[in-house]
Structure 1
Amino acid sequence: MIQAQSLTKHYGSKTAVDAVDFTVQPGKVTGFLGPNGAGKSTTMRMIVGLDRPSAGSVIVNGKPYHEHKAPLREVGVLLDAKAVHTGRSAYNHLRAMAATHSIPTSRVHEVINLTGLESVARKRVGGFSLGMGQRLGIAAALLGDPATLILDEPVNGLDPEGVQWVRKLTKQLAAEGRTVLLSSHLMSEMALTADHIIVLGRGRVIADASVADIIASAAQNTVRVRTPHTAALASLLAQADVTITNLEQDVLEISGLTVNEIGDRAAAAQISLHELTAVSASLEDAYMKLTQNEVEYRTGDTQTEAEVAR
């Protein structure tokens, strides 16, 4: 379990993390989301003692990280897959880590097999692809068979098979009762993997709920209608609290009425419908809605780069 209380980090006059409170529960995959600059990386670094909080506290499995006598056995961490001596082989890198915690060599072989590194285990890490580097980082995180996993962008650079493997692995680890904190910018993958979501924006927690609840909060009463009689249907349904958008020549998106209401009114007016579908919200929709006012850098701003620089 990871517990943060009023966790704060200042860098000079800038507040990177602003008195955040959250608990990452065992037995589920918790997604950790937020725009660039939201404070996710700083928070994860404070959890594992790489940055010291300016105020507040964070404990892992009942203690601050630095108080654990064998931290690799408590917390497995992937923050930067490139943080490896490029002249070492994957095997020697893992064996050196294992030696610091009296972890047997047999465990090194286990994580190499688990992460699919058998064919490159004796090769220098400097020649690894991005995806193989990620697998090595995950192997290192799993080395101590820890109760808590913190993985930052673990599928970065992986092919579809690797992405699916990470998804299954994190779910399996959570099902074993472990605590899994997973940070990613891939909303579609997070929707398939996470059970719970914590969202940061400008250093503060702006959402902390189950995936289902977060998606439900963004859901709108929107219906997609395909009909050769768009003008007639739009005129029939027009009222103050209904919004009608013409998406294509024969497609309307309607907010403010249910599928049943639209279908019943169209039938009564003898307007044929070729499609009548409730539009579901996605995790990406919910995330964009939550963070729309929390983004520091926006694509398509009217200012040019030169103007920003000035």
Structure 2
Amino acid sequence: MIEAHSLTKRYGSKTAVDGIDFSVAAGRVTGFLGPNGAGKSTTMRMIVGLDRPTSGTVTINGVSYATFRAPLHEVGVLLDAKAVHPGRSARNHLRALAATHRIRPARVDEVIGLTGLDSVADKRVNGFSLGMGQRLGLAAALLGDPATLILDEPVNGLDPEGVMWVRQLARGLAAEGRTVFLSSHLMSEMAQTAEHLIVLGRGRVLADAPVSEILAKASDDSVLVRASDADRLNALLVDHGGVVAHVETGQLSVRGIAAPRIAELAAAAESLVIHELTPVSKSLEEAYMQLTRDEVEYPASQTRSEKR
């Protein structure tokens, strides 16, 4: 488990992380989201002792990272996949890391196979693609078979097969009872990988909840309805307290009446047939944008059409 209490980091007059509290439980994948500049990378760096908090504490399994005598056995970290000597081969890079922690050489071969690096293991890292470099970073994080994984943008540069592999790996490690904490800007992938989310904005926690709860709060509780006589259904639903808008020809957006009740009202009306009845739920991307719309520190300029 990772626990932060009143965790704060300031750089001069700039507050990067503003007194946040959160916990990352073992046995599930916890996603870490937020706009650029929200404080995610700074928080991850403080967890593993690369940045010192201005105030507050953050611990892994009850102790600070600095107290671990053999940290690779405790925590696997991927913060910068490029942090490798470019003249070394992947195998020699992993062997050097293994030697610092008395990790058996056979484990190096295991993580090379696990991360799909077999064909390039003896090639110099400076010739690696972005995706292969990312796989090497993941191999290093897994080298000590740690109980805690902290992964910053682990699918960056990976092809679809690699993205699916990371998803399955993260969920599999969590199922073994490990703590898995990962960040990503790919909302569709996070929706399939994480069970719980922590969302930052301008250094503060905006949400700390299961994915399902965040999606439920973002939902507008509307229902899309298509019927044999949309105008007649419109009048019927308004009479029963619904708020109805025409979406397109023959299709209505209804608020204030749940889908089962809409079906009951239509069934009770003579010759009124429902062709579509779809409760509308927001995607994680839409829920995330709703949460963070006022917390973007570096907003993109509007397009010409948006300015009109």
**Residue identity in the other structure for 1:265:** L
Aligned to 2:18: 18
**Aligned-pair distance for 1:271?**
3.1
TM-score with structure 1 setting the length = 0.91
Q: Identify if the C-alpha distance between structure 1 residues 245 and 185 changes in structure 2 by more than 3 Å, giving closer, same or farther.
A: farther
- The one-letter amino acid paired with 2:199 is V
The equivalent of 1:270 in structure 2 is 271
8 Å contact kept, 2:37–2:298: no
Structure 1 unaligned regions, length at least 5:
304-310
Separation of aligned partners in 1, 2:191 and 2:182: 12
Correspondence for 1:117: 117
Match of 1:308 in 2: none
Q: Using a 3 Å threshold, how does the CA distance of structure 1 residues 279 and 142 change in structure 2: closer, same or farther?
A: same
The structural deviation recorded for 1:195 is 1.6
Cα drift, residue 94 of structure 1: 0.8
How far 1:13 moved relative to its partner?
Answer: 0.9
Structure 1 residue 23: Cα displacement: 0.9
Q: What residue in structure 1 maps to residue 135 of structure 2?
A: 135
Q: CA deviation at 1:228?
A: 5.2
Contact 2:10 2:17 in 1 (8 A): yes
> Deviation at 1:35?
1.4
Task: State the partner residue of 2:205.
Answer: 205
Structure 2 unaligned runs (5+)?
none
**Structure 2 CA distance for partners of 1:245 and 1:90, relative to 1, 3 Å:** farther
Q: CA deviation at 1:121?
A: 0.3
CA offset at residue 22 of structure 1?
A: 0.8
The offset of 1:76, in angstroms, is 0.6
SS in structure 1 at match of 2:271 = coil
Partner of 2:297: 296
Alignment of 1:246 onto 2:269 = no
Shift of 1:239: 6.5
- The share of aligned pairs that are identical, in percent, is 66
Secondary structure at the counterpart of residue 299 of structure 2:
coil
Deviation at 1:149, TM superposition (A): 0.3
- TM-superposed CA distance for 1:179, in Å, is 0.7
CA contact (8 A) 1:61 1:74 kept: no
Distance 2:86 2:234 in 1: 64
Taking a change above 3 Å as real, the CA distance of residues 283 and 150 of structure 1, as seen in their structure-2 partners, is same
Residue 191 of structure 2 aligns with an amino acid whose one-letter code is: A
Q: Write out aligned runs for 1:39-118 (5 A).
A: 39-118=39-118
Rate the CA distance shift 1:116–1:260 in 2: closer, same or farther, 3 A. same
TM-score by length of 2: 0.92
* Displacement of 1:269: 5.6
Partners of 2:78 and 2:292 lie apart in 1 by: 25
Retained in 2: the 8 A contact 1:225–1:275? yes
What residue in structure 2 maps to residue 144 of structure 1?
A: 144
- Structure 2 distance, partners of 1:133, 1:229, is 58
CA RMSD between the two structures: 1.9
* One-letter code aligned to 1:100: T
Aligned CA distance change for structure 1 residues 257 and 297 (closer, same or farther; 3 Å)? farther
CA distance in 1, matches of 2:88, 2:246: 60
